[in-house]
Amino acid sequence: MPTRKIIEIDRDLCNGCGLCTTACDEGALELDDEDKAVLVREIFCDGMGMCLDVCPTGALTVVERESPSYDYQATVQHVERTRGADAVAAVHREPGETAEGAAPAPSELSQWPIQLHLISPAAPYFHGADLLVAADCTAFALGSFHSDLMRGRKMVIACPKLDETGPYVDKLAALIRDAELNSLTVAIMTVPCCTGLERMVEQAVAVSGVDMPMRTVVIGIDGQIAGER
């Protein structure tokens, strides 16, 4: 049995809101008789963690453990049976497959500029926002970057290796302090230089004096999400 990424549910933290069951395109989650989230079958879970952002209690995590492999065909049949053919056509394709005549995926970009050198921490669209701080390469490496990471968030991008990063910590600290952010997510690559961006954001949080939890999404050069912390 392979070791792979899969959702793990803390039943003590689950409040039965059901938001994860609708966020999971694969229909891998449902509420049981005790109104607790459960995996319908492990083969329906692709381990991408789209359900994590909607969970209000932090009951969901992605772990690596032995589990049967994700079964695309079985998942499609399950979704068609439980949600209908439209749900399959909208969200499920074989890797690399493009639906004939399908419209281009929409951009999730909701503000401009995005480069950290150019943004203003006082820009009104940052106020109360879910903020994504992304290393430049992440959007090129992760094919689902817009849908997985940008959707619903305001964004700034930076390269810790090639940019002149001198003002970055203070600028990010001002943004975190003044914008009253709702959440903070950092996206970096697995390459060593990218950890510099994570450290800069951590320093900015400390300088800001705001108790702001930070989630880091790590993307591999193979175009897959390698993990979170």
| Cα–Cα nearest to 99, from 108, 90, 107 | 90
The share of the chain scoring above pLDDT 70, in percent, equals 93
Look at residue 21 and tell me whether its pLDDT is greater than 50: yes
Q: What is the pLDDT of residue 159?
A: 95
Residue range 3-91, CATH number: 3.30.70.20
Q: What is the pLDDT of residues 121-180, one digit of tens each?
A: 999 999 999 999 999 999 999 988 998 999 999 999 999 999 999 999 999 999 999 999
Delimit the CATH 3.40.50 region(s) of the chain. 124-228
Look at residue 119 and tell me whether its pLDDT is greater than 90: yes
Rounded distance between C-alpha atoms, residue 4 and residue 64, angstroms? 5
Look at residue 94 and tell me whether its pLDDT is greater than 80: no
Residues 6+ apart with CB under 8 A from 180: 127, 128
CA angle in degrees (0–180, nearest 5) for 205-60-48: 90
Q: State the helix-helix crossing angle for 195-208 and 168-179, rounded to 10 degrees.
A: 50
Residue range 124-228, CATH number: 3.40.50
Delimit the CATH 3.30.70.20 region(s) of the chain. 3-91
